[in-house]
Every structure is written in structure tokens, then in C-alpha cells.
Chains A and B, each alone.
Chain A
């Protein structure tokens, strides 16, 4: 059973470009979470999604950031018009359909660098 997959692992974007980060949850998992981690800091919750639904996006910046988890395909975290401050590691995690009380399985992360 493959683990959580994220791609790309490293992404370099110039200021003003768009960044698209993909996350494929573990097989059978229908809950996906996105987190951002700045260097030397902890993980900050961004958004929690189930298939075709955003359940909690309270940690997501109001502008430029969006997330989706379509019926088919991976979850996408999209950052428009990136700025230097968006440089960070973005982790996604998935958990089983039994709910968010269960452990989360993390992907390897996407390291975004904005130049």
C-alpha cells in the first residue's frame, strides 16, 4: 500500500507565478489536510478537505491560496502570484474515512522556493 504521495518534491517559482502542489492520499483515505512549515518552525494547519468538500479552511490565507480535493484525482493546493514569504515546506496528510480523530499519515512534502 503506497503511502501519501506529494509532487513535486521541490518547486522553484519566481515572484508572481503560480504554484500547484499535488497530494495523493493513501488508498482508502478520504480525508486530506494541508500544512505549511517554515524553516525551524512547527507545522501550521491550513485546510482540511474531504472528497469534493472543504471542511475547515480556517488556517488558509484569504487571498491567493485555494485548495480542492476532487472526486477523482489528487488534492491540489494552489498558490497564485507567489511571494517570497510563501517559501516553505508544504505537507499534506491523509486519514481514514472514520474521521479526523485518527492518526494522520504525512507525505514527504513539497519544498517551495520563491525567487
Chain B
């Protein structure tokens, strides 16, 4: 079955430092989505990547989809305290509805 590894599990940074989380799949993906969940809150959709090698930017956030469509990364430049939360990737396999969330990366930011 589809396996996903998301690293790191935790990341603590000083405000202004950069942050990156990675998702790696054991199988080729049709697309990947990223979500953010604030402490005590619910996941909120950030972005979807579909094409091989795709790069998308949202202000200080940069999302990449690997050439082989088996891995993805989310990079935050110059973190702020509002970036605190857990970032999850959501993987969908190629030919079925199987949905798998990564375990998430909890980001904490020291002001």
C-alpha cells in the first residue's frame, strides 16, 4: 500500500529563520495537497500540486512537487509567530481514492 514519510516531526525556530518540511511517498502520486492545522483547530487547505516539477508560491511559502511525483516540500521564508501550527501533506494515489495524510510537522516559532 501507499506509504508516506513526512519529516521532520517537530521543528522549533527563532522568528525570522526559515523552515522546510518534506513529504516522501513510496508510490507515484497523481497530486499532493498541503494543509495547516493551528493548535486546537482544524486543517485548512493551503495548496495543491499536480504537475511534475511544479513550484508554487504563496507570499513567504514555496511549495515544490518532485520530478518523479513522489516527493514534495513546503518552505517558509522568514517565519513569523503566525506560522505556528502543524503542516500536513495529503497524498492521493494514482488510480484510486486512497488518501493518506503525512504525520505532520509541528512548527513552533520563538518570538
Query: Which positions in A face B, CB cutoff 8 Å?
Result: 33, 35, 41-45, 48, 55-56, 58, 91, 93, 100-109
Is B102 in contact with A45, judged by CB distance below 8 angstroms?
no
A56 to B2, CA, bound (A): 15
Q: How large is the interface on B (under 10, 10 to 19, 20 to 34, 35 or more residues)?
A: 20 to 34
B43 contacts A100, C-beta separation under 8 Å: no
Q: Is the CB of B43 within 8 A of A56?
A: no
Nearest 8 pairs of A and B residues by beta carbon: A103-B45, A42-B103, A106-B42, A43-B101, A56-B97, A42-B104, A45-B99, A106-B43
User: Are A107 and B98 touching (Cβ within 8 A)?
Assistant: no
B interface, CB within 8 angstroms of A: 6, 30-31, 33, 35, 41-45, 48, 50, 86, 88, 90, 92, 96-104
Q: Which residue of B lies closest to A109 (CB)?
A: B42
Which residue of chain B is the closest to A111 with respect to CB atoms? B40
Contact across chains for B42 and A45 when beta carbons are under 8 A apart: no
Contact indicator A103/B101 (Cβ below 8 Å): no
Question: Are A41 and B97 CB-contacts (below 8 A) given A91-B42, A105-B45, A109-B42?
Answer: no
A45-B101, A55-B97, A56-B98 known; A101 and B42 CB under 8 Å? no
